Structure 1
């Protein structure tokens, strides 16, 4: 896995999240669920950084259009990841059937 430079402009955060989302999809296609989880963690960090940066920066009208395109691709990736993960999640849930549910 290659590391990316820290995003500088607000749109760069969206691009970095999209790249991480694409890596998650590739890992899901390979059934590498550990890598999916690692990429998901990277996305979470980037999203928090984006939220922080969005307080001080605004997107230009052209960047807002690009953001919309990026978000559509991220949502498409997410849907594909969920579709690929469903059998794995069903198998995982089956392991815990009949187990007492403990709340912490």
Structure 2
């Protein structure tokens, strides 16, 4: 059913929006937790998609949802870059320097 599949996309979109909010707040533990929820939802979506397909209107809705998810993902990655660099420096034993 179209609505069932779209519910998965909407849930993934909500999780990505929640991830973005957590990333903006610097709560990276929450981001990781929500990422795990996304992985589970995507797995469930793949299974459900084997049994059903989207009509043209639902496919348009899916496309809009996917665009928002990609925008959220890009913003999360942008916010994560300094955090990931700090983590890499810490793991490599490098001291932080001020420029």
SS at match of 1:31: coil
Unpaired runs of 5+ residues, structure 2, are: 94-99
Unpaired runs of 5+ residues, structure 1, are: 1-7, 99-104
TM-score w.r.t. structure 2 length? 0.89
Q: CA deviation at 1:95?
A: 1.2
Q: Is 1:56 aligned to 2:56, yes or no?
A: no
More relative contact order, 1 or 2 (CA 8 Å, 6+ apart) = 2
Deviant stretches of 4+, over 2 Å = none
Root-mean-square deviation (Å): 1.0
Larger relative helix fraction: 2
Q: CA deviation at 1:85?
A: 0.5
CA distance in 2, matches of 1:9, 1:96: 44
